[in-house]
Amino acid sequence: MTVKELVRKIFFVEIIKGLALTLSRLFTHAVTIQYPKERRPIAPGFRGLHALAKHPQTDKAKCVGCGLCATICPSQCIHISRAKGTVEKYEIEVLRCIYCGFCVEACPYSAVALTENYEYSDYSRDALYMTTEKLLSNWDKYMAGKKGEEYFKKFWRPLSEDFGTPAGQAVFRKIQNAK
């Protein structure tokens, strides 16, 4: 131990510095807030609880069950099954999600969203397993109306509507009267 360190120890320099810092903060404005009565504003594009987007006209899920979101999901927590050409089951194990947002980014149909809801803690794992019904109702609760449309346009591009078919490109057409 050096002489300087010894002197600092004898005269409690570090403790006095700590007390001085505490005293200087005693009369300043508190940085803590009284949650849940007070809340901080949510950052734009916040990634909270998931929702399955609905068509504004038909009120049905936009998801076509292509599986792009499930493929890109690093946590492998999205489970999809299709039947009769439509998505039959779309489920998310929320406890495994890392909120990377890749699922939203990968979806070309703006069919899955991360809402602003962060208050969904619960006592059971089952409550945090998002079934298709729960995900669709999350859309109604947190993203209905213009909010949902703006969410995709503001934070997640490109969307399927951003792509066109270049002039002269060969496209698949259903052959009429094919035998």
Q: Does 49 bind ligand SF4 (CB under 6 A)?
A: no
How many residues in the shown chain lie near ligand SF4 by CB under 6 A? 26
Q: Which is nearer to ligand SF4, 7 or 98 (CB)?
A: 98
Q: Does 103 bind ligand SF4 (CB under 6 A)?
A: yes
- Contacting ligand SF4 (CB under 6 A), which of 46, 91, 100, 116? 100
Q: Does 136 bind ligand SF4 (CB under 6 A)?
A: no
Q: Which is nearer to ligand SF4, 13 or 76 (CB)?
A: 76
Q: Does 117 bind ligand SF4 (CB under 6 A)?
A: no
**β pairing state of 50-52 and 112-114:** antiparallel
Peptide bond before residue 36 is cis, with ω within 30 degrees of 0: yes
Q: Does 155 bind ligand SF4 (CB under 6 A)?
A: no
Q: Does 77 bind ligand SF4 (CB under 6 A)?
A: yes
Sheet holding 86-93, edge to edge: 78-83, 86-93, 129-130
Cα–Cα distance measured from residue 111 to residue 68, given in angstroms and rounded to the nearest whole number: 11
Compute the least distance from the CB of residue 54 to ligand SF4, in Å. 12
User: Measuring CA to CA, which residue among 140, 117, 106 is closest to residue 49?
Assistant: 117
Can you state the percent helix, strand and coil of the chain, rounding each to 5? 35, 15, 50
Q: Does 148 bind ligand SF4 (CB under 6 A)?
A: no
Task: Give the ranges where the chain is alpha helix by DSSP (H).
Answer: 3-10, 13-26, 68-72, 102-106, 132-142, 146-155
Listed ranges 7-15, 96-104, 135-143, 164-172: which one lies at the site for ligand SF4 (CB under 6 A): 96-104
Q: Does 113 bind ligand SF4 (CB under 6 A)?
A: no
Q: Does 69 bind ligand SF4 (CB under 6 A)?
A: yes
Cα–Cα distance measured from residue 96 to residue 92, given in angstroms and rounded to the nearest whole number: 9
CA 7 vs. chain centroid, Å, equals 54
| Residues that bind ligand SF4 in the complex, under the rule CB under 6 A | 63-69, 73-75, 77-78, 80, 92, 97-103, 106-107, 109, 111-112
